[in-house]
Amino acid sequence: MLMKTLKIIKIGGNIIDDPKALDDFLYHFSTIEGPKILVHGGGKLATKLAEQMNIKVQMTDGRRITDPQTLDLITMVYAGKINKNIVTTLQKNACNALGFTGADGNTILSVKRPVKDIDYGFVGDVVKVNTTVLESLLAQHITPVFCAITHSTEGQLLNTNADTIAAELAIGFAQQYQTELYYCFEKNGVLINVENDDSVIEHLTKETYQDLLSQQIIVNGMLPKLNNCFYAIDHQVHKVCLGKPAMLYKQNSKFTTIQAS
């Protein structure tokens, strides 16, 4: 029997921080047929508010160190303001949506990242996705909207990478659906030349990826994103696409696709 397709779509700060871009994206997202899940990061708002409240912003290799004050702040921003603004805009566009952290419905369980070279504080690494509640919502044509917060069994909220949450959701549903994972960001996809947005690698394989790594063509922020992509492919996700949001709705858009070989 042909499996139904489920799209898991992740958006980042380049969309969240631009009200017009976010409004346009959510309009087009609402028109996507079939079951779908939206995952969003936090954008720059948490950092801006932290500075206004004299809460020290600590970053290491682009990742936020999450002390107790920072956790309180990002929970308010991610799970509150950003998540609810997205949900209410989807309702305006006739897309019935429900906002989630990983704690809601016990959907995403994490553990606090162990201290090795760096103490990241209250940062979570995903250990389990529970799909039962989400399956029921999808069957009722309700769209879950996840922010980058999960929880532990000890009643602790945890700051969790949104790219990872999207990948783990796609993996969690891979037995019930043909899952497709979309990472929407500011580039047209994985680029041979980061200065040339037309130099898109339209089909990326593990072999090509290893070649690009050895040539140091792929570095910095793309590395964890692509590691998530191949991790998802290795765990039965049907395909992963990376590019600008237009790849979801505009024909002839350039973007990168990764599929199991």
**Of the candidates 239, 161, 246, the residue with the CA atom closest to the CA atom of residue 197:** 246
CA gap 136, 241 in Å, rounded: 26
On whether the CB atoms of residues 131 and 109 are closer than 8 A, the answer is: no
Sorted by sequence, the CB contacts under 8 Å of residue 85 that are 6+ apart come out as none
Kindly report, residue by residue over 26-40, the tens digit of the pLDDT.
999 999 999 999 999
CA gap 167, 172 in Å, rounded: 9
CA gap 156, 125 in Å, rounded: 13
Please tell me whether 102 is known to bind a ligand: no
Kindly report, residue by residue over 43-87, the tens digit of the pLDDT.
788 888 888 988 888 877 667 899 999 999 999 999 999 999 999
User: Which structural domain, as residue segments, surrounds residue 113?
Assistant: 5-259
Above 70 in pLDDT, residue 200? yes
The CATH number of the domain holding residue 165 is: 3.40.1160.10
Please tell me whether 221 is known to bind a ligand: no
Above 90 in pLDDT, residue 125? yes
Ramachandran bin of 215, using left for φ above 0, alpha for ψ from -120 to 50, beta for the remaining angles: alpha
Please tell me whether 159 is known to bind a ligand: yes
Average pLDDT, the chain: 93
CA dihedral 61, 66, 69, 70 (to 10 degrees): 60
Structure tokens at 7: 């799209």
Q: Highest mean pLDDT range out of 59-63, 123-127, 220-224?
A: 123-127
Q: What pLDDT sits at residue 62? A: 67
Kindly report, residue by residue over 130-183, the tens digit of the pLDDT.
999 999 999 999 999 999 999 998 999 999 999 999 999 999 999 999 999 999
How many folded domains does the chain comprise? 1
Which residues make beta-bridge pairs with 242?
183, 256
**Of the candidates 50, 162, 24, 13, the residue with the CA atom closest to the CA atom of residue 102:** 162
CA gap 180, 8 in Å, rounded: 6
